[in-house]
Amino acid sequence: MAEDQNLVPLEDYLKAGIHIGTKFRTKHMEKFVYKVRPDGLSVLNVEQINNRLKLAGKLLADYDPNDIIIVCRRENGWKAVKKFAEIIGLRRGVDVVIYSSIGILFYMLFRLYIKFEEREQEITKVVREIALLKKKNRKR
């Protein structure tokens, strides 16, 4: 990989650990995996990552920063997304999406809890009715 083609020097990529991947892989990631270590950890292809970053930069350059929103669902990526947004001049849209997503998640969990409570009450009612019917049938 020629140095003049990199967005940043290769040493900076390696120092940042961009090449260290994950044990979790999907078929869509295959072209980004340089090799898999004996412990199962993927080593990522820095050249492929550099090319994708260039492509993303070209794509984003066609838009007004106020029209761009970047979202990351994994907590370990939030800091990078915030920094990226800060560098390219995005406003707090990223924070709003993250906090809104967390709020929506809590609401969904609350609704799920309520549904479980309702089902538990329904099951309890049915079990009581069955028990009363069995008791009534035994007396006959």
Give residue limits of the domains in the chain: 1-62, 65-140
Structural tokens at position 93: 């849209």
Which residues in the chain belong to E strands, given as ranges?
33-36, 42-44
- Looking at the DSSP bridge assignments, the partners of residue 42 are 36
Q: Which residues contact 66 (CB under 8 A, 6 or more apart)?
A: 90, 91
Average pLDDT, the chain: 81
**Span 61-95, pLDDT tens digits:** 888 877 777 777 778 777 887 787 777 776 656 66
Q: Please state the pTM of the whole predicted model.
A: 0.49
CA gyration radius, the chain? 26
Per residue in 121-135, pLDDT (tens digit) is: 999 999 999 999 998
Residues in the chain: 140
pLDDT at 131: 93
Could you give the CA distance from residue 64 to residue 89 in angstroms, rounded to a whole number?
A: 10
